[in-house]
Structure 1
Amino acid sequence: MSKSCLIFFTKSPELGKCKTRLNDFLSLKKARDLQIYLIQKNFNVVKNFEFFIYYSGDLKELQNTFLNLNSYIFKKQFGKNIGEKMKNALLETLNLGYEKVILIGSDLDNLEKVDIKNAFLNLDKFDLVFSPSKDGGYSLIGLKKMVDEIFDIKFSTENVLINTLKILDSKNLSYKLGKTINDIDTKFDIISKFTKSDEISFLASGEYNSNYLFKKGKNEYIFRVNHASQMNLDNQIIYEFKALKILESSGVTPKAYEVFKKSYFLPNGALVMEFLKGRALDYKKDLDKVAFILSKIHTLKIPKNCHLIVAKKPFLAIYNECKNMSSIYLNSKFKDKKVCDFLNFIFEICENLGLDDEISNKAIVNTELNSSNFIIGKNSSYLIDWEKPLISDKEQDLGHFLAPTTTYFKSDDILSFDKINSFLDEYEKNSSINRDLVKKYIKFNCLRGISWCAMASVAHQNKNAPQNPKIKLFLKDSFLEKVNNFLEMR
């Protein structure tokens, strides 16, 4: 028997019961996948030493993670809390005759074989050894004799290691601190792994992405985590990153610095981009700034072999999308006859305008020009969200931006026809357009906005669903009358 033994402290990777502090970041399945990955990754280090696996949870579930291990290797954790469980595991192993015992967790990110070797060697000179963790605790502890008091402190606080060392100092026991070994417990642990920053805060999130602000030195950046693709792309984050690199020369979009491909930590990837300071768009005073931003983007030269998807028959695509969305409302028990009649009325108008047109004024377009996607700064202003860029008519962007279903959704503004014409005059200082095509896109975007709200109103019948008061307003007669004015544009 070796004089040294390593304890691998772990938890069975049961669906919904592991990595629960990541539930707001990963699905239950993805959290379980990450747990299994970390267990197996760290076990590749552990297996180089004599070891026992101390576990909590379902043994059979855990054994499925390890192949061909003798059952005597697995020992059940016991104790009222984490301190008692660690103490009991260490004491039980010492009582088997081992002279040096080290205990580590299974969710470590940067554990290496040399860390364990050094810890055992340091026990020849010191009473105890530790590897600190960023959260104020420790990820490795090694000892030769039991010190009961260090396991009686309160765990899961930022002072665990400090309080432990104070006890050892009071007992004149020597100790050695090894390198910091990080564990993965929260989304901030994951973001820190990729950004190499400990100054991280949540910024904002949408349906498909969440954004975090992090600092490096005096600089601030955005860490943008993708959760899904509304374009049904396999590599949404790569698509968005490449788009931002193309757009960088416009000077009105964020710079993209780094992209991270899919992994167990980031199942859909992430990117790092520039943090731009400013305020939200105000339709009453910022239309000239938006006209400039869009004209700069729309006049960019499209690179050869550009990766961006080219819209084919964009009006037909919008029409079919709206048919699918509106059908949920039209076939529901919650439908209102007036809303149904209005939807059928807009569909007929759009059909008469024509569905089969191909793009004619090719440009890189954003397709989602909500007010919250603009940052208005003191000296410069930007369009920041590039989740769904395409190559299409530049008028598609203009029609979406000017439609009442866009402006009224996140503000109380509906642009007058005079303001629309003034905006287009400003835009045309830098880029030519087909104004009739802009009006056609406005009407199709009205169809999209009403179809989406009708669909969303059905989901709103579930009281647990997120509620947006604008959805009800969009289906009221007073708003539909305003939309009708835009449908009559000449």
Structure 2
Amino acid sequence: MIIAMLKDTLKDKIKSYIKDNNINKYINIDGNFDVDFLAQGEYNVNFIVYDQKNKYVFRVNTNSQLQLDNQIKYEYDALKKLEISGVTPKVYFLDDSKNYINYGILIMEYLNGRPLEYNKDLRKSAKIFSNIHSIDTTKGDFSNFIIEENILSDRINEGERLLNTYMKSDIVDKSQKEFFYSFLNWCKENKDKEKYFRQDKWHVINNTEVNSHNFIIGEKESFLIDWEKPVISDPCQDITQFLAPTTTLWKADYVLSKEEKEIFFKEYIARLDEDKNIKERVHLYTPYLYLRALSWCAYAFIEYQDPNKDIKNMDTFKKIKQYLDIDFMRNLLKDYI
């Protein structure tokens, strides 16, 4: 009900907003345009604005996963820096005033294609990652990005923040609390491995949300979309997340085989100017990626109990509960803990 009300309210406002604010100065669209709902995330609602010749994505941001005061500008600035990669959407317009619509707004390129299919598109995804990870973040001004120097400590701090309310909640099973308590302790005891990343620093732009539905696979070109929370950090952030079952099961109910992972690594490495042992980096980072994924599920589980949450996706809630199953979590970490 909340989703339907928000979508319907926004759709009506968007049409008036575009007309009243002369947005056709920024995008190539005639007066007989229309607006349709496209898709939603946990903190964004997306619409298509289109006429007979052109289509654009009108993105409305409702909250920030990064606790930023100006989430939509962060995303807009990131997309501008990423355009050089050729595998991210172009962005045309930003309104962070919240004057007309009570949310941040950006308008970007509409890309034709389908979601990524793991059994078909690993080489295409490797090309996308290598293009993005080849952007030299030491040249030019990348000061607008959040930079993560201490990749394992950052995951621990993030996990503690996300788990705070969950661990205090009366509706959470004792065995789940005990699991997270032990998991956090293990991560803290092993965080000295972080020196590996400091001693051989490799910083690139990471998307941090690389599930299959954030890829657009086209007939000729393919893209990575949804740049809500990028950071500059080690590329193992995105590569680990992309390959992990917590990601591949999220939208596609798929688990990559060792052979498929090798296909991906081979293609990714071949397209880089230099490989600083991405496989070892992924191995070290994997349990900390699981801490992020599972802690976010714990946080979201509590959030979904709030009747006033702007966006609720029941498919997402189903996955959250699946991932928080104690046997599922223990199986993920059986090679580490």
Fold match, TM over 0.5?
yes
CA distance in 2 between counterparts of 1:339 and 1:443 reads 17
| 2:48 is the counterpart of 1:199 | no
- Name the counterpart of 1:10: none
Pair 1:337–1:407, CA change in 2 (3 A)? same
| 2:17 is the counterpart of 1:190 | yes
The residue identity in structure 2 corresponding to 1:202 is: F
Residue 361 of structure 1, aligned match among 189, 202, 215: 202
CA distance in 1 between counterparts of 2:212 and 2:334 reads 22
- Name the counterpart of 1:48: none
Residue 58 of structure 2, aligned match among 198, 203, 223: 223
- Aligned partners of 1:442 and 1:486 also within 8 Å: no
1:23 CA drift (Å):
6.8
CA distance in 2 between counterparts of 1:413 and 1:462 reads 31
Task: With the length of structure 1 as denominator, give the TM-score of the two structures.
Answer: 0.58
The residue identity in structure 1 corresponding to 2:124 is: K
| 2:105 is the counterpart of 1:270 | yes
- Name the counterpart of 1:440: 284
| 2:142 is the counterpart of 1:301 | no
- Name the counterpart of 2:217: 376
- Name the counterpart of 1:247: 82
Structure 1 residue matching 2:233: 3-state secondary structure: strand
Residue 149 of structure 2, aligned match among 312, 320, 332: 312
- Name the counterpart of 2:242: 401
- Name the counterpart of 1:144: none
Residue 324 of structure 1, aligned match among 137, 161, 176: 161
CA distance in 1 between counterparts of 2:132 and 2:260 reads 21
The residue identity in structure 2 corresponding to 1:24 is: L
1:261 CA drift (Å):
3.7
- Name the counterpart of 1:280: 115
Residue 425 of structure 1, aligned match among 251, 260, 266: 266
- Aligned partners of 2:118 and 2:254 also within 8 Å: yes
- Aligned partners of 1:203 and 1:212 also within 8 Å: yes
- Aligned partners of 2:15 and 2:34 also within 8 Å: no
CA distance in 1 between counterparts of 2:300 and 2:74 reads 28
Structure 1 residue matching 2:6: 3-state secondary structure: coil
1:387 CA drift (Å):
0.9
- Aligned partners of 1:399 and 1:440 also within 8 Å: no
- Name the counterpart of 2:298: 454
CA distance in 2 between counterparts of 1:374 and 1:388 reads 15
Structure that is richer in helix per residue: 2
User: Which stretches of structure 1, 4 residues or longer, exceed 6 Å deviation after superposition?
Assistant: 462-465
1:285 CA drift (Å):
1.8
1:383 CA drift (Å):
0.2
The residue identity in structure 2 corresponding to 1:381 is: S
Structure 1 residue matching 2:205: 3-state secondary structure: strand
- Aligned partners of 1:408 and 1:414 also within 8 Å: yes
- Name the counterpart of 2:27: none
- Aligned partners of 1:404 and 1:446 also within 8 Å: no
Structure 1 residue matching 2:79: 3-state secondary structure: helix
Pair 1:248–1:185, CA change in 2 (3 A)? closer
CA distance in 1 between counterparts of 2:335 and 2:20 reads 50
- Name the counterpart of 1:24: 6
Aligned length: 312
| 2:196 is the counterpart of 1:214 | no
The residue identity in structure 1 corresponding to 2:208 is: T
Which runs of structure 2 are paired with 1:34-53 in the superposition (5 Å)?
A: none
Pair 1:324–1:200, CA change in 2 (3 A)? same
CA distance in 1 between counterparts of 2:12 and 2:330 reads 52
| 2:320 is the counterpart of 1:471 | yes
- Name the counterpart of 1:334: 171
- Aligned partners of 1:25 and 1:187 also within 8 Å: no
Worse overlay, 383-392 or 254-263: 254-263
**CA-to-aligned-CA distance 1:358-392 (integer Å, 9 cap, x gap):** 65111111111122111111111100111111111
CA distance in 2 between counterparts of 1:349 and 1:437 reads 18
1:217 CA drift (Å):
4.9
- Name the counterpart of 1:59: none
The residue identity in structure 2 corresponding to 1:427 is: Y
Residue 391 of structure 1, aligned match among 223, 226, 232: 232
Which runs of structure 2 are paired with 1:121-200 in the superposition (5 Å)?
A: 186-194=13-21, 195-196=23-24, 197=31, 198-200=33-35
**CA-to-aligned-CA distance 1:102-127 (integer Å, 9 cap, x gap):** xxxxxxxxxxxxxxxxxxxxxxxxxx
Q: Which has the higher contact order (CA 8 A, sep 6+)?
A: 2
1:402 CA drift (Å):
1.6
- Name the counterpart of 1:347: 184
- Aligned partners of 2:7 and 2:37 also within 8 Å: no
- Aligned partners of 1:222 and 1:275 also within 8 Å: yes
- In structure 1, stretches of 5+ residues that fail to align are 1-21, 32-183
Pair 1:352–1:419, CA change in 2 (3 A)? farther
Which runs of structure 2 are paired with 1:59-78 in the superposition (5 Å)?
A: none
CA distance in 1 between counterparts of 2:323 and 2:12 reads 42
Structure 1 residue matching 2:125: 3-state secondary structure: helix
- Aligned partners of 1:405 and 1:445 also within 8 Å: no
Residue 480 of structure 1, aligned match among 315, 329, 334: 329
Structure 2 residue matching 1:201: 3-state secondary structure: strand
Structure 1 residue matching 2:147: 3-state secondary structure: coil
Pair member with larger Rg: 1
Structure 1 residue matching 2:270: 3-state secondary structure: coil
Pair 1:484–1:230, CA change in 2 (3 A)? closer
Structure 1 residue matching 2:227: 3-state secondary structure: coil
1:477 CA drift (Å):
4.2
**CA-to-aligned-CA distance 1:294-344 (integer Å, 9 cap, x gap):** 011000122422222222312212111111222322222223233233323
